[in-house]
Amino acid sequence: MGWHYRKSIKVGPFRINLSRHGVGHSFGNRRFHVSTTPDGRRYVSVNLPGGIHLSKAIGGKRHRHYRY
């Protein structure tokens, strides 16, 4: 059985999302927002009246470059 952790911290129109996978962030309001996941994927989401939710990945996966 896997474990999950998620915590969101709201700072004005920004939201910082903490999870066991890393730190992501989002910007926007209840109807429209742009999110970046901890692994670098970006999404645009729109919530329309009547319970319709549209989400689309934009761009490619952003690769993190580590220097040791």
State pLDDT tens for residues 55-68. Answer: 999 986 656 666 65
The residue written with tokens 């690769």 in the block is 63
Q: Which domain holds residue 45?
A: 6-58
Which residue shows structure tokens 């549209």? 54
Which residues is 58 bridged to in the sheet?
Answer: 42
Residue 32 lies in a domain: yes
Rounded Cα gap, residues 64 and 40, in angstroms: 8
Residue 51: inside a domain, yes or no? yes
Specify if 65 maps to a domain. Answer: no
The answer to whether residue 63 is domain-embedded is no
DSSP lists the bridge partners of residue 45 as 33, 55
**What integer pLDDT is reported at residue 2 of this predicted model?**
75
Taking residues 38-49, what's their average pLDDT?
Answer: 91
pTM score, whole prediction: 0.65
Q: Which residues pair with 10 in a beta bridge?
A: 15
Classify residue 64: in a domain, yes or no.
Answer: no
Name the domain count of the chain. Answer: 1
